[in-house]
Chain A
Amino acid sequence: MFLLSLHLADDALILGHRNSEWTGHGPNLEQDIAISNIALDQIGQARNFYQYAAELYNANKDAYTKTFSSPAFHQVIGPIDEDDLAYLRDAKEFRNHLMVELKKGDWAVTITRQFFMSLYQQLLYSDLQYSADKRLAAISEKSLKEVHYHVRWSGEWVIRLGDGTEESHRRMETAIDQLWPYVGELFIPADFQLEAAASGQLKNPEYYREPWLEKTAAAFDQAGLAMPALNWYQKGGKLGIHTEHLGYLLAEMQYLQRSHPGAQW
């Protein structure tokens, strides 16, 4: 459960961080507010999952301590908290999907990624809210309410941009081409997901592939966008093998915590 909670937190934080790069720079004020709101929801979800992961870690430190090799992380005295997990781990210790760490790109990339991830989170949390693990169930139930809105908002934008102008249609096609190779990873189980599946806490993520494709195809159909034909996918995020982008994101995000070890903010 520790790695699963950490993985869910990492996805939410990194995607939230990327979306927050729009704050102050959105295409208009209304959408600046909307994307910032989604960033806030995701950072809130990340905090809940990190807090749970930190509790599990503290309760069974001997079992988990070797999970991380970052020296900064091991300098923490006493129990760890959400910020130690977010700010003191190195890139290879993050377990988010590759898709969330890619650069924010233009509005089409941001929207398409949000739609892909929100659909996935919607399917996942809809099941996880009934998990035997009460904490994961509670966080998922709470997050799901937000994710329903994210799916609706991003789905409406997929249709609006797909069926807007020639330029917006073309940009959507480019965004889909760019992101599609990262879709497959969502449905390829990592060991910690298989373990959780074996103990009945979680469905094997493969299970979500078909419903996800179905919902995506429905939105694309309305938007006049074609489903890509692709069967080769990039993967590795859940094992800690990331794209080049994550290192830069973390360097920026973590620098203040790292340069003032042990300080309170």
Chain B
Amino acid sequence: MEKQATINLEQQFQDRVDQDIRIEPKDWMPEKYRQTLIRQISQHAHSEIVGMLPEGNWITRAPSLRRKATLIAKVQDEAGHGLYLYSAAETLGISRAEMIDQLHTGKAKYSSIFNYPTLTWADIGAIGWLVDGAAIMNQVPLCRTSYGPYARAMVRICKEESFHQRQGFEILLTLSRGTEAQKAMCQDAINRWWWPSIMMFGPADDASPHTAQSMKWKIKRFTNDELRQKFVDICAEQVKILGMQLPDSELKWNPETGHHDFGKINWEEFWQVISGNGPCNKERIAARVKAHEEGAWVREAATAFASKQAQKQSAAVA
């Protein structure tokens, strides 16, 4: 009897998804759908927060006041994205504190791209153009994802991300029109960020176990390889405006497929970085843990003060 009821609920749920009716926090949902979303949204939130570190790395060294202000604003936007996303995940029954704990203990993942170092100012441009560009490619379809709070958070995030991407491209454009040293800095950053950026779409479709179920639930709307191809096609054109090159000798237009062919991705590197062996994995988590621990007394003081105020107020009312 109970089993039959669950099957009916699952059918109703799938019908709603198929009709593109948004799932809201109070609606019934399969436990695996809930868990998949918690995993995906919290990973996304963690990526925003960890992503603040490689870029924040250049705030105190930004080469002009305008660039400094823009970079602070950008990193600040990422903190805001983290906030929206943690809130969206909280609607699924997990607290921000639990999620942050999962990040700090390594139980939850974040985008591997942020385990690469930002070595020159041009990296800030390359992150904007390539990393934010790849993120947008992944995120625009999420504005239509089946879970309402996630979809709504993504609408706001995508608007800001596309602004960031333009800023990043503009940093590179300025460098590409600058001195020889600046041009070299620009090309070097593209060389280092290109492959990790196209890895951001995740493993190839035949090695991505969750894709089929996520597509059925409309959490995901395109496969990893579809999005990756779209990104490569766009970047292959945009890089010409910069007068730079993508570091892939096999990259070329294929008139038969209507897409660019590109070289083989080093999946060994991808899995190594994911499993903790990237250049900055340990530093990134250590920096987050340090900020959290050093902030503990501040958060405790705020809580203690708030409860004192509440007591005073209730005493005054009584």
Task: Give A contacts to B, CB under 8 Å.
Answer: 13, 17, 20-21, 23-33, 36-37, 39-40, 43-44, 46-47, 50, 82-83, 86-87, 106-107, 159-161, 163-165, 167-168, 171, 252-253, 255-257, 260, 262-265
Residues in chain A near residue B178, CB distance under 8 A: 263-265
* B75 and A165 form a contact (CB under 8 A): no
How far, in angstroms, from A171 to B294 measured CA to CA in the complex?
13
B65, B67, B79, B294: which contacts A33 (Cβ < 8 A)? Answer: B79
Chain A residues within 8 Å of B49, by CB: 29
A50 vs B52: C-alpha distance in the bound complex, in angstroms? 28
Instruction: List 19 additional contacts besides A40-B69, A47-B65; criterion CB under 8 Å.
Output: A13-B65, A24-B75, A27-B291, A29-B49, A29-B83, A32-B76, A36-B73, A43-B68, A43-B72, A46-B65, A159-B305, A160-B301, A164-B301, A168-B297, A253-B61, A255-B61, A256-B63, A260-B181, A260-B182
Q: Are A33 and B60 in contact (CB under 8 A)?
A: no
Q: Is B155 an interface residue (CB 8 A)?
A: no
Interface residues of B in 149-193 (CB under 8 A from A): 174, 178-179, 181-182
Closest partner residue, chain A, to B65 (CB atom): A47
**Given A27-B295, A28-B295, A164-B304: A82 in contact with B79 (beta carbons within 8 A):** no
Complex CA–CA separation, A171 to B67 (angstroms): 34
B80 interface hit (Cβ, 8 Å): yes
Q: Nearest 9 A-B pairs (CB), nearest first?
A: A27-B295, A164-B301, A168-B301, A24-B56, A24-B52, A27-B298, A265-B63, A256-B63, A36-B76
- The number of residues on chain B lying at the interface, defined by a beta carbon within 8 Å of a beta carbon of chain A, is 45
> Considering only CB atoms, which chain B residue lies closest to A167 in the complex?
B297
Residues of B within 8 A of A25 (CB): 56, 287, 290-291
Q: Is B300 an interface residue (CB 8 A)?
A: yes
A-binding residues in B (CB < 8 A): 49, 52-53, 56, 59-69, 72-73, 75-76, 79-80, 82-83, 86, 121, 174, 178-179, 181-182, 287, 290-291, 294-302, 304-305, 308
Report the minimum CB–CB distance from A110 to chain B (whole Å): 10
Q: Which residues of A contact B79 (CB under 8 A)?
A: 24, 26, 29, 32-33, 36
Are A164 and B83 also in contact (CB < 8 A) when A25-B287, A36-B75, A263-B178 are?
Answer: no
Distance (whole angstroms) from the CB of A263 to the closest CB of chain B: 5
Are the C-beta atoms of B301 and A20 separated by less than 8 Å?
Answer: no
- In whole angstroms, how far apart are the Cα atoms of A33 and B60 in the complex? 17
Interface of B is mostly: helix
* A214-B63 Cα distance, complex, nearest whole Å: 40
Which residues of chain B come closer than 8 Å to A24, judged between CB atoms? Answer: 52-53, 56, 75, 79, 287, 291
A256 and chain B: residue at smallest CB distance: B63
Contact B61 A252 (CB under 8 A): yes
**Could you tell me the distance between the alpha carbons of A92 and B147 in the complex, rounded to whole angstroms?**
58
Instruction: Determine whether the beta carbon of A39 is less than 8 Å from that of B301.
Output: no
Q: How far is the CA of A21 from the CA of B291 in the complex (A)?
A: 12
| Shortest Cβ gap from B170 to chain A (Å) | 11
Residues on the A chain within 8 Å of B56, using CB: 23-25
Q: Report the nearest B residue to A40, measured CB to CB.
A: B72
Chain B residue numbers with a CB within 8 Å of A107 are 295, 298
Q: How far is the CB of B59 from chain A (nearest CB, A)?
A: 5
Q: List 15 A-B contacts (CB under 8 A).
A: A23-B72, A23-B75, A31-B295, A40-B72, A82-B65, A161-B298, A163-B305, A164-B302, A164-B305, A168-B297, A252-B61, A256-B121, A260-B63, A263-B179, A265-B63
Q: Give the distance in Å from the alpha carbon of A17 to the alpha carbon of B62 in the complex.
A: 11
Known contacts A28-B295, A29-B49; A164/B61 CB under 8 A: no
- A27 smallest CB distance to B (angstroms): 3
A19→B82 CA distance, assembly (Å): 20
Q: Cβ of A159: which chain B residues have Cβ within 8 Å of it? A: 305
The answer to whether A164 and B63 touch across the interface, beta carbons within 8 angstroms, is no
Q: Does B305 lie within 8 Å of A20, measured CB to CB?
A: no
Contact A33 B298 (CB under 8 A): no
| 8 Å CB contact of A31 from B298, B300, B304, B305 | B298
Partner of B300, one of A30, A106, A167: A167
**Closest residue to B78 on the A side, CB-wise?**
A24
> Which residue in chain B gives the minimum CB-CB distance to A86?
B65
Contact A160 B60, CB 8 Å, known A83-B65, A106-B294: no
Q: For A31, list chain B residues within 8 Å (CB).
A: 295, 298
| A39–B182 alpha-carbon span in the complex (Å) | 28
B60 touches A21 (CB 8 A): yes
Name the contact of A265 in the complex, choosing from B64, B86, B299 (C-beta under 8 A): B64
Residues of A within 8 A of B53 (CB): 24
Task: For the complex, give the distance between the alpha carbons of A168 and B295 in Å.
Answer: 11
Min Cβ gap A97→B in Å is 20
